[in-house]
Amino acid sequence: MPQTAVRTSSPSRQTIGDAAFETIARCLQEETGIVLSEAKKGLAVSRLSRRLRVLGLSDFDAYCDILSGPSAVPEIQEMILLLTTNVTRFFREPHHFESLRSRILPGLIAKAKVGGRVRIWSAGCSSGEEAYSIAMTMLEVFPEAASSNIRILATDIDRNVIRIGQKARYKLSEEDFSEHAILSKYTTKVEGADHQFDVVASAKSMVQFGQLNLMDPWPMQGKFDIVFCRNVVIYFSTETQQRLWPRFANIIVDGGHLMIGHSERVTGPATEILRSTGVTHYELKSRGAIQ
């Protein structure tokens, strides 16, 4: 990454001009679908000021020059990592896992027991707690899940959180174990490390991580029985959301399921094929793809 001479003013005290903010917001939305509203201007300044210091820049206009220059591609990736938010925890929004355990898994387990293929996608997985929560729920109901043809794909745009998920080591408190007793069964204490726990091998083996921007083409060939995409599209524009819902519908098996975040709703053409069956829980109700 090209470096420039450090100037006298401090980026930490900088404000961002309207033109620079609009450039950064437009770039972020074009690359990721995420809308950076005017209300997030302070957040952008706070997070990107660190990057200005690394690059030796004193203002955001100079940073925008990089975003449109020969080093744009790698710098845009750095910008995305700084501006995206990763908030997650084990068994977040528990009603989805209860629905998974009681309503969905019996049919999937029956399919797996006769050699059928079961696939689940955690889209926007952050550091992996969601994907491992799914794996733990499956193992609790079907202990042979790890040795069956059942796999969970976990993807995120942020390569740093993907590395955390692949390592499968998390900081857990007594409150975590009190709230979710299942964690005691599927994690092990790391000796010599305070409050650090590893996900057990059986759950870890069920999850495959990969970096993926939801705005890009999706490389997966097969369809999924369930897609979890929770608290992700809330950051997208309405137009981007309505393009994304049909893509999810197209990659879900007939009768399959889509779980989304508590503040999200399927809208637009996808409502013709995805029917609500519970709180932020949708089922693919008819055969065929929609465009």
One-letter amino acid identity for 8?
A: T
230 is in an annotated binding site: yes
* Residue 88, domain member (yes or no): no
**Does 47 participate in catalysis according to the annotation?**
yes
* Residue 89, domain member (yes or no): no
**In this structure, are 58 and 113 located in the same domain?**
no
Q: What is the residue whose two structure tokens read 């994690």?
A: 187
117 is in an annotated binding site: no
**In this structure, are 184 and 44 located in the same domain?**
no
Tell me the residue range of the domain where 140 lies.
94-284
* Residue 67, domain member (yes or no): yes
What pLDDT, on a 0 to 100 scale, did the predictor assign at position 35?
87
* Residue 208, domain member (yes or no): yes
User: Which phi and psi (to 5°) does residue 119 adopt?
Assistant: -130, 135
- Domain edge (last residue) among 35, 54, 83: 83
What CATH number is attached to the domain comprising 17? 1.10.155.10
137: nearest Cα among 146, 127, 148 = 146
**In this structure, are 107 and 239 located in the same domain?**
yes
Residues 6+ apart with CB under 8 A from 264: 230, 231, 233, 234, 280
Question: pLDDT tens-digit profile of 8-50?
Answer: 344 445 789 999 999 999 999 988 888 888 888 988 898 899 8
257: nearest Cα among 96, 116, 113 = 96
84: nearest Cα among 241, 264, 263, 234 = 234
**Domain tally, the chain:** 2
- Domain edge (last residue) among 37, 63, 83: 83
* Residue 3, domain member (yes or no): no
**In this structure, are 16 and 68 located in the same domain?**
yes
**Residues linked to residue 190 through DSSP beta bridges, in sequence order:** none
DSSP letters, 131-149, are HHHHHHHHHHH-TTGGGTT
* Residue 6, domain member (yes or no): no
**In this structure, are 77 and 122 located in the same domain?**
no
Mean pLDDT along residues 167-181: 95
Helices (H) and strands (E) in the chain, counts: 12, 10
**In this structure, are 71 and 108 located in the same domain?**
no
231 is in an annotated binding site: yes
**Does 50 participate in catalysis according to the annotation?**
no
Interatomic CA distance for residues 196 and 265, integer angstroms:
36
DSSP letters, 18-51, are HHHHHHHHHHHHHHH-B---GGGHHHHHHHHHHH
**In this structure, are 26 and 140 located in the same domain?**
no
**What is the distance of C-alpha 280 from the center of its chain?**
16
> Is pTM beyond 0.75 here?
yes
- Domain edge (last residue) among 83, 106, 132: 83
Active-site hit among 51, 119, 156, 158: 156
Active-site hit among 47, 101, 247, 265: 47
What CATH number is attached to the domain comprising 232? 3.40.50.150
**In this structure, are 156 and 273 located in the same domain?**
yes
**In this structure, are 216 and 265 located in the same domain?**
yes
* Residue 142, domain member (yes or no): yes
Question: pLDDT tens-digit profile of 56-75?
Answer: 998 999 999 999 888 889 89
* Residue 212, domain member (yes or no): yes
**In this structure, are 38 and 141 located in the same domain?**
no
Task: Extract the tokens encoding 98.
Answer: 């209860």
What pLDDT, on a 0 to 100 scale, did the predictor assign at position 6?
33
Question: pLDDT tens-digit profile of 79-95?
Answer: 888 888 777 899 999 99
Three-state helix/strand/coil letters over 225-244: EEEEECCCHHHECHHHHHHH
**In this structure, are 68 and 115 located in the same domain?**
no
What pLDDT, on a 0 to 100 scale, did the predictor assign at position 2?
34
149 is in an annotated binding site: no
- Which pLDDT band, with edges at 50, 70 and 90, does 1 fall under? very low
Residue 115 burial class via C-beta count within 10 angstroms: exposed 0-12, middle 13-18, buried 19 and up: exposed
Mean pLDDT along residues 240-246: 94
**In this structure, are 154 and 68 located in the same domain?**
no
16: nearest Cα among 79, 64, 53, 72 = 64
